[in-house]
Amino acid sequence: MTFELFDTTQVPTNSPLSNTSSASESLPTGCSQYMTLYNESYAKETYCVNGFTSTYDELKTVTRTTGFSCSGGKNPAGQVIYSSKGNECSRCITWSGYSEFRNGLYTIIPFAESKNWGANIAAIDEYCRRKLVGKLFCEGLVNYSFLDNWLSGSLYFFPFKSRVVWDDEENLDISDYATSYCKDLVYYKVGTKENPDKRFYYRSSWYNPVTNKFDSARGTLAHPTTLVDLGPRDEFIKEICIDPNLDPNCSVVRNIGPTSYQDIRPILGLYINYKLDVATPAITGDIYAFFRNEGFDSRLPFKMQGQVLNGDILQLMSMNSEAGIDGFDLLSKKYEMYNPILLDPDVYTEFFKSDNGSANGPLPVQLKLDETDGYRVRACLNEPGRLTESSQVVPFYLWEKNGTGFGTGVDQAWYYPSPVNGSTVEAQPLQGMTYNYNYSGDTTHPYLLLPMTKEYSGDVIKLNAIANPLVASTFNIEHFNYDIYGNFNTTGFTTHQIYDEQEEGFTFLYIIGGNGTLSGATVGKLYTRKGNTGSWNVIDWDNTVDFILPPTSRNYSGTRQILSTPYLYYFGLKPGKTAVDKFIKRFGPLGAFPSAE
pLDDT value at 124 more than 90: no
DSSP state string for 29-68 = -GGG---S-S-GGGEEEEEEESSS---TGGGGGPPPEESS
Q: How many beta carbons lie within 10 A of that of residue 231, not counting itself?
A: 23
Tell me: the pLDDT tens digits for 431-454? 888 888 988 667 778 888 889 999
Question: pTM for the complete prediction?
Answer: 0.75
Mean pLDDT, all residues of the chain: 77
179-194 pLDDT, tens digit per residue, is: 999 887 788 989 888 8
Please give the share of the chain, as a percent, with pLDDT higher than 70: 71
Instruction: Give 387-425 pLDDT, tens digit per residue.
Output: 655 556 777 888 999 999 999 999 999 888 765 445 567
State residue 159's pLDDT score. Answer: 72
| The predicted structure's pLDDT at residue 342 | 80
Burial of 1 (0-12, 13-18, 19+ CB in 10 A): exposed
Q: Can you give the pLDDT at residue 409?
A: 92
269 confidence band (pLDDT: 50, 70, 90): confident
Output the CA–CA distances (angstroms, integers) from residue 424 to 172, 295, 315, 433, in the order listed: 32, 16, 21, 18
The pLDDT, as a whole number, for residue 147 is 72
Percent of the chain with pLDDT over 90: 20
Q: Are strands 413-414 and 399-400 parallel, antiparallel or unpaired?
A: antiparallel
Band (10; pLDDT cuts 50, 70, 90): very low
Contact 187, 201 (CB under 8 A): yes
Q: State CA 321 to chain mean position distance.
A: 8
Tell me if 46 sits within 8 A of 517, measured CB to CB.
Answer: no
pLDDT one-digit tens code per residue, 448-486: 888 999 999 999 887 655 555 555 556 889 999 998 888
pLDDT at 539 over 70: yes
**198 backbone dihedrals φ, ψ, rounded to 5°:** 55, 50
**pLDDT tier at 16 (50, 70, 90 boundaries)?**
very low
CB–CB of 30/266 below 8 Å? yes
pLDDT in tens, 24-39: 444 445 455 556 777 7
Q: Is residue 121 pLDDT above 70, yes or no? A: yes
Q: Crossing angle, helix 265-278 and helix 117-138, to 10 degrees?
A: 150
Residue 499 pLDDT grade (very low, low, confident, very high; cuts 50, 70, 90): very high
Question: Of 232-236, 302-306, 338-342, 520-524, where does mean pLDDT reach its minimum?
Answer: 232-236
Q: What is the pLDDT of residue 126?
A: 81
φ/ψ (deg, to 5) at 332: -85, 145
CA dihedral 353, 359, 360, 365 (to 10 degrees): 0
pLDDT tens column, 310-348: 999 999 999 998 888 999 998 888 898 898 878 888 889
Chain centroid offset of residue 7 CA = 26
> Is the Cβ–Cβ distance between 316 and 267 less than 8 Å?
yes
- H/E stretch holding 582: helix 579-587
